[in-house]
Amino acid sequence: MVRLPHNDPQVIKLQIDSALVGRVLIDSGSSVDILFLSTFENMGLNRNMLRPTCQPLFAFDSTKVSPLGVVTLKVCVAERCLDLDFVFIDCPSSFNVIMGRGWIHAMHGVASTLHLVLRYQSKDSTYTIDIKGNQASVRKYFSTALKGPGTSKNVPTRDEEQSKDRLPAYMK
């Protein structure tokens, strides 16, 4: 259940390659899907998978970030799997991955920040599927992002503590 009013970002878990990745931000303002260096390394991926890119990224404040490369990974959610290109960058983040408009559109999805849900149609278009996040976790992650890098360790929420045993060590 979403507690209103709120201004929380959409944060979910996704199956990316062979890993269940938490702290995935759905960002309809991002034109690319972003994979951070720490996540890449924790997933055990090899840098040989990277393809070079000379296309810089620009933040909303016009800050330029030079990607380390592009990597194609399979992203699976419910009954749909897509091969997506992730821009690979090395910078601090409270999130493991940022999924942008390209993924939302490829899913034929509609992201509702009010309801903290991404809704898309089944393959045969007979029903809809909702991807929901955990609002308590979202608030923790977002407050960490606002504090910036080098902040003290976060205290896990009760939901996170209960599900911690089901996650790989690097996602805890």
What pLDDT is recorded for position 43? 95
132-165 pLDDT, tens digit each: 988 887 777 667 667 766 544 444 444 444 445 5
* Beta pairing partners, 85: 72
How far is residue 89 from each of residues 22, 160, 172, measured CA to CA in Å? 18, 27, 22
What pLDDT is recorded for position 149? 60
Residue 41 has pLDDT above 90, yes or no: yes
**pTM, rounded to two decimals:** 0.79
What pLDDT is recorded for position 9? 85
What pLDDT is recorded for position 160? 45
Write down the mean pLDDT value for the chain: 84
Residue 40 to residue 43: CA distance in whole angstroms: 5
66-104 pLDDT, tens digit each: 999 999 999 999 889 999 999 999 988 889 999 999 999
For 64, residues 6+ apart whose C-beta sits below 8 A from its C-beta are 56, 57, 58
Element (H, E) at 140: helix 135-147
| Half-sphere exposure at residue 145, Cβ-oriented, CA atoms within 13 angstroms | 17
What domains sit in the chain, N to C, each tagged with a CATH number? 10-171 (2.40.70.10)
What pLDDT is recorded for position 111? 93
What pLDDT is recorded for position 102? 93
What pLDDT is recorded for position 141? 64
